[in-house]
Structure 1
């Protein structure tokens, strides 16, 4: 094994393709301190994260980075969209000078941050591609490369259950090219020759380790193939190094500066201008024999940068461009895995256990790599370790299904893998795929949102205290098991979202990121700001380029590796404010721009949304923020944060307050409507729910548990009637929440059938019991209360699937009566009628409608199959309007409304007067 530091990946860049598109970069730019170049792409905020075909066709002059980032508020550059940092305030007619000035300063800070990034990365997309460089990666030259970021370590090595390596002898050391200027350590782990085998004669000999198992094992020797290339491909006298476009500018640089050209300004010294140097070189080489190379010349612009444009002879250029590269020969030269396994022992075999060893100023440390993709976190007192996950090609998971198209409305089923089984243990990915996915499809949902997927040591934290951000939880199965889950979900038309926790991290040190390299501020703030004051977690330092590199790459990793379709960003309040959201908000907009707001966190969220939406246009992002930060779902080029939806957490809190504090007959209909509708300008971007995991996990009760075990009601009804009364209110809460606003609705696993118990993860306070850490699916096998609730919930989902209820416009709420406890509103051609009164039924109750005609009931919560009384008769399911005005509308209906029931009417026939 050899260990050394790689030079910065961005120091040497020449004429070649863009890293994200095949478009060429023609000019060779030789700066006084080296060679640079790159493919620059414009975007909504100055840079694009991907290349478009139209841009590849346009040739634009190469400009300096500082010129391309831009400094104006209103125009973001030629070809780019207009940018107004306060655009959404103008559009929404919000006038506040302090907040507007904050948005302008934030926009300037965003541009400065991107300019800072471009001093380290040649292109903005590279900051989201860390997983392609860091961690462990097999190199085609018989080795495994490992790179990690640990600026506080003196040297770094890998120790594990392979090859008996020493943490001191086999390491990357400071002073021995162990790390670069940014604190990135590189260790090269070489595959070992088996006993009796000899090293390859040709350095370019490759072994096809990661492709088809038998490809390349054809017995043809390298010498024979090289002779065939010379005889069949190259014409006599042709220079072989013309095969790649990189070697021409490299040759030119070598000719002018010599084979060991200067790399620093001190080495360069005083030099003549480029044109004089070039003429001197041509005079000194006048006697050289003629070459088959294309002719080239030099143009000097006289600027700080010497621009060398390669001027090729047209005939020669066309000659070589028309020839296909000799790929077939090189492929035939490669050996397959059979030959590789016969000759080499892998540096780190698949499944090997390993850890990082750091020598720090405070002593030696062992850590789990930050970029590890398979980790066992060391629960139950065991030592944590990472696992090298590199299945052989014949075992690599092969995706079968494509991502479904993004639906116009989201019906989200929130679930936790570990508690998804009925047994008192931790359920697995395989069990969830086999047992729960079919139920979700039957229930009518089109998205699953998974919580607690990333690796975490503390199971009782529900998975929110993440220790390893690139690894799926080992409790649930392997990475391939999770891929199979996502694949099967896609196969039945379900999108898969993750609850992503980038707002904080676990404080664990042996397995997490805290004190990762011995320093307190590697990933996190130092001092009090680096610790969440209530949750005992660590707070990320969002202004650090390497932290951005880590978090943005993590988002892209889940999309690329596991084909995730969307993210809900967990607990933004804890990251947006230095008080972690634990403060009283008076409603003053200036509270969103005062000294407690973390501007760096806002910039990270803007960059995350721009990156995700530009690289993967169909990705959905959801903001979970209890403070309703202004501009959550507004475009980033108008001063917003760029999310697609935001979570309205106050609705669930409203229902809980009513359930715990007021008898049903005292509920206020006006307060219910006000709590549901909220800010009317954001209705179409609102994700709404009756209850999610928060209401029923660790201490709280589920709403079904509250409703179905109420003791303040005393009735003489039969048990069946009492059960109907208890479940009817639950159905009304669900239906009005589902239909009154928004394009997205969420339900937590089990609540679709009224799961009777809360969730409580095993912990010391309950003697590590699993009795409440599961779901009682058996309740659906018997006809009764829970199957009736499920039937209603399922038909609610069908209502949107068939009638596109959630994609209709904003509701027209025209009848809200606290005394009768009736609410009526229209949404498109649908009328929704709710009677919340626990005892009073109404006959010929007059409500107004906009359009005259015949209205037919398409959903009735009082039907017997839903556990209702079935009081509506068949002839009452179709009603015709009268021209008598009501509720300020020109038409009205006289309806029957059973107590505690709701009906959805559809306009089936329009009557014109």
Structure 2
């Protein structure tokens, strides 16, 4: 639904299974006999798309415009708002731009019209369709060289008129008695090139398009801003009411029984005015995953504006450069955490308005943060009132019918990706978030559910047969390729991430090579591995060799891997955070020792995962300081409690949590400076010892050393280095300021090495990062 520049609202909806369509709401007293289109005589095309127009109403005392008058709703004032006679404008154009009589010979003025509309309505204005260049430039029906013309066919005296009259600005004319009674234009290339090289008379034309103030003065809106709207279909199974599929904003009705679209066309003064440009994509992604609703400490639902003011500065302070938002798309069921989307184009009304969300994105950009969002195109809510399920009755145009249309485990519905209009709907949805809200990247939720008709619920061993069989959803593959192609052509800065636990080959390969074109894929392996080890394996039995091999396998895989120690999944619905799991593992120790061991291990786990595991790193809101509570959204089983659907920021006042936060800040700061996540340098000098529980390796002049032994330190531990020189300690998890015991000697903070070996002390349950600060020259090395 959009406001047309010819002062009416256009409404389009795709519902091929309906026999009539009405737009109903409080703007027409919910009357389905008004603004109605019926199958058979108007309102629906051959593809099942309905079109209804609702005209603006003239205010009392106003008269219709003498000409078709365009209005620019996106600006408060422009030249066209002045009281200038339009006939005088046309005469001025004739006098100052066209030479006398010149414009009447233009067969096609579309290039000039397109330039006018783009100058006023913006580069994305798409109402004017321009033909091919050769068609647009064709100015005449007949082509003949003037020098070879047979003037005997022309009216008496025409030859003398051409030869004696100075009409260089006009094209030559000729007579064709078989087709015309008057002389017609000759296609003169020189004249054509000169005329088409002219720039459109924009300074004059712009006076013909009026702004929002002029429209508001003359017309009452066809559908006032804030009106509640639904679509009413007649189907073979009976009448149904639905929330429009393309709704920009959706609210529950006052009685709570139904939901309605809200026509969102706020006055100029209420629209968000963008203040900041998009930041450039960083070389390394350090992603802070958030849920706006649960981002406050109070037991309730937070808002876009509060999140902007309280959480975004914290994200910046912590050293992350991307904020990734869950649950932005509207979802009726809050307990779904946003993964049962009902309205793909609408921001969640629980958190605020579309303008509030623009404020959030703008604030993040002002802090230098990119904004990613979870985009849920893998499945939809089964809701039949405000969602897409059974949208046009039993035809179910957007979704598969029968078993194919139902997710195997989640109770959700599945898109019919092979349908042209479904692809157009989803691709338009991506473009909408980029252009309307300036989103910088997309985390495609549950891609594994899209890739296969079994929704990814099968055993995967890595065999090629598992990715090439009858269960592969080719239609979904094509959609994902198109989605990446569209986004990266829309803006080269966009970043796409595929969440797929099945590791489908080619996710990050270019589509020219048969891939999908994603920039990153999500690897759940580190998180799964750490949780399994913590809960199932005694620390003394951990195999650091297997840990290193698992992480190296990810970093050496095809494509860039996004890794995390924990994201939202670990702690939602009765789960636990990794820090809580560690505390429970060390419960046999006294409280102080328990916390010391748990803090030591979580720091090592984070550092090793980030340094050895992937090309980008993510953490979930609150886990940077070791949030210990599970996440559980309000639902029937907990009596709709918000007790665990929040973040306890006050934990930052606690000694241990503050130390963890400080370490996480230091880790992000080192990555920001040395970019080890995005480094293409190979891992060298890898030393792994299951007996001493140590892992040491070098990457791009940085040395990472880990000692996972629960009782023994490794003194004078020799490692190979690539260059002799001065090595400086950058990070020590055992530092007192990070909650450690400070066991490293002062002399080890800076070490001079004159050979290809470096001797280190590795305290138990600690990790260190060293940097090659200065390389010795050959003369010094020999000494």
Q: Structure 1: which 5+ residue stretches go unaligned?
A: 1-135, 249-273, 277-281, 298-309, 884-890
Question: Given the superposition, is the C-alpha separation of residues 813 and 585 from structure 1 closer, same or farther in structure 2, using an over 3 Å criterion?
Answer: farther
Aligned partner of 2:442 in structure 1 is 567
Aligned partner of 2:775 in structure 1 is 910
**Residue of 205, 223, 231 corresponding to 1:348:** 223
**Residue of 687, 712, 726 corresponding to 1:840:** 712
| Alignment pair present for 1:503 and 2:374 | no
Aligned partner of 2:494 in structure 1 is 619
TM-superposed deviation, 1:155: 1.1
Aligned partner of 2:400 in structure 1 is 525
Structural mapping, 1:391-790, within 5 Å: 391-679=266-554, 681-682=556-557, 685-710=560-585, 712-715=587-590, 719-782=591-654, 784-790=655-661
- SS state at 1:605 partner: helix
| Alignment pair present for 1:860 and 2:756 | no
Aligned partner of 1:279 in structure 2 is none
Instruction: Render the CA deviation track for 1:331-372: whole Å, top value 9, x for unaligned.
Output: 324444444223211101111110111111111111011111
TM-superposed deviation, 1:165: 6.2
Q: 1: distance between equivalents of 2:173 and 2:653?
A: 80
Aligned partner of 1:810 in structure 2 is 682
| Alignment pair present for 1:213 and 2:77 | yes
TM-superposed deviation, 1:317: 2.2
Aligned partner of 2:47 in structure 1 is 182
- SS state at 2:106 partner: helix
Aligned partner of 2:665 in structure 1 is 794
Question: Given the superposition, is the C-alpha separation of residues 312 and 854 from structure 1 closer, same or farther in structure 2, using an over 3 Å criterion?
Answer: same
Q: Which has the higher contact order (CA 8 A, sep 6+)?
A: 1
Instruction: Render the CA deviation track for 1:561-597: whole Å, top value 9, x for unaligned.
Output: 1111111111111111111111112321111010111
Question: Given the superposition, is the C-alpha separation of residues 571 and 398 from structure 1 closer, same or farther in structure 2, using an over 3 Å criterion?
Answer: same
Aligned partner of 2:117 in structure 1 is none
- SS state at 2:730 partner: strand
Question: Given the superposition, is the C-alpha separation of residues 409 and 324 from structure 1 closer, same or farther in structure 2, using an over 3 Å criterion?
Answer: closer
Q: 2: distance between equivalents of 1:222 and 1:908?
A: 73
Question: Given the superposition, is the C-alpha separation of residues 764 and 685 from structure 1 closer, same or farther in structure 2, using an over 3 Å criterion?
Answer: same
Question: Given the superposition, is the C-alpha separation of residues 232 and 745 from structure 1 closer, same or farther in structure 2, using an over 3 Å criterion?
Answer: closer
CA-based RMSD: 2.7
Q: 2: distance between equivalents of 1:882 and 1:842?
A: 22
Is the 8 Å Cα contact of residues 697 and 760 (structure 1) preserved in structure 2? yes
Question: Given the superposition, is the C-alpha separation of residues 232 and 379 from structure 1 closer, same or farther in structure 2, using an over 3 Å criterion?
Answer: closer
Q: 2: distance between equivalents of 1:633 and 1:726?
A: 36
TM-score, scaled relative to structure 2: 0.88
**Residue of 692, 698, 702 corresponding to 1:820:** 692
TM-superposed deviation, 1:392: 2.1
- SS state at 1:550 partner: helix
Instruction: Render the CA deviation track for 1:815-836: whole Å, top value 9, x for unaligned.
Output: 1111211111111111111011
- SS state at 1:151 partner: coil
Is the 8 Å Cα contact of residues 377 and 456 (structure 1) preserved in structure 2? no
Does 161-170 or 749-758 show the bigger shift? Answer: 161-170
Q: 1: distance between equivalents of 2:111 and 2:732?
A: 74
Aligned partner of 1:850 in structure 2 is 722
Q: 1: distance between equivalents of 2:321 and 2:701?
A: 24
Q: 1: distance between equivalents of 2:210 and 2:279?
A: 38
Is the 8 Å Cα contact of residues 683 and 810 (structure 1) preserved in structure 2? no
- SS state at 1:421 partner: coil
Q: 2: distance between equivalents of 1:897 and 1:327?
A: 72
TM-superposed deviation, 1:602: 1.0
TM-superposed deviation, 1:840: 1.3
| Alignment pair present for 1:370 and 2:370 | no
| Alignment pair present for 1:157 and 2:22 | yes
TM-superposed deviation, 1:794: 0.5
Aligned partner of 1:301 in structure 2 is none
- SS state at 2:81 partner: coil
TM-score, scaled relative to structure 1: 0.76
TM-superposed deviation, 1:218: 2.5
TM-superposed deviation, 1:287: 6.0
Q: 2: distance between equivalents of 1:539 and 1:471?
A: 19
TM-superposed deviation, 1:162: 0.9
Q: 2: distance between equivalents of 1:777 and 1:748?
A: 13
Instruction: Render the CA deviation track for 1:151-199: whole Å, top value 9, x for unaligned.
Output: 1111111111114463124211111221111111111110012233322
Q: 1: distance between equivalents of 2:23 and 2:461?
A: 53
Aligned partner of 1:59 in structure 2 is none
Instruction: Render the CA deviation track for 1:585-612: whole Å, top value 9, x for unaligned.
Output: 2321111010111111111111111111
TM-superposed deviation, 1:328: 3.2
Question: Given the superposition, is the C-alpha separation of residues 867 and 218 from structure 1 closer, same or farther in structure 2, using an over 3 Å criterion?
Answer: same
Q: 1: distance between equivalents of 2:186 and 2:393?
A: 54
TM-superposed deviation, 1:231: 4.8
Question: Given the superposition, is the C-alpha separation of residues 319 and 706 from structure 1 closer, same or farther in structure 2, using an over 3 Å criterion?
Answer: closer
Aligned partner of 2:235 in structure 1 is 360
Q: 1: distance between equivalents of 2:193 and 2:14?
A: 46
Is the 8 Å Cα contact of residues 583 and 594 (structure 2) preserved in structure 1? no
Is the 8 Å Cα contact of residues 569 and 624 (structure 1) preserved in structure 2? yes
Does 432-441 or 164-173 show the bigger shift? Answer: 164-173
TM-superposed deviation, 1:311: 7.3
TM-superposed deviation, 1:699: 1.6
Does 446-455 or 681-690 show the bigger shift? Answer: 681-690
- SS state at 1:519 partner: helix
Q: 1: distance between equivalents of 2:534 and 2:105?
A: 78
Is the 8 Å Cα contact of residues 142 and 186 (structure 2) preserved in structure 1? no
Instruction: Render the CA deviation track for 1:725-745: whole Å, top value 9, x for unaligned.
Output: 221001110010011142200
Is the 8 Å Cα contact of residues 208 and 216 (structure 1) preserved in structure 2? no
Does 325-334 or 366-375 show the bigger shift? Answer: 325-334
Q: 2: distance between equivalents of 1:471 and 1:436?
A: 22
Q: 2: distance between equivalents of 1:850 and 1:228?
A: 77
Does 342-351 or 784-793 show the bigger shift? Answer: 342-351
Is the 8 Å Cα contact of residues 17 and 395 (structure 2) preserved in structure 1? no
Q: 2: distance between equivalents of 1:377 and 1:222?
A: 46
Instruction: Render the CA deviation track for 1:189-232: whole Å, top value 9, x for unaligned.
Output: 10012233322222x23344432336433322334434444555
Structural mapping, 1:20-35, within 5 Å: none
**Residue of 871, 877, 899 corresponding to 2:743:** 871
TM-superposed deviation, 1:847: 2.5
Question: Given the superposition, is the C-alpha separation of residues 378 and 772 from structure 1 closer, same or farther in structure 2, using an over 3 Å criterion?
Answer: farther
Structural mapping, 1:183-262, within 5 Å: 183-202=48-67, 204-213=68-77, 215-240=79-104, 242=106, 244-246=108-110
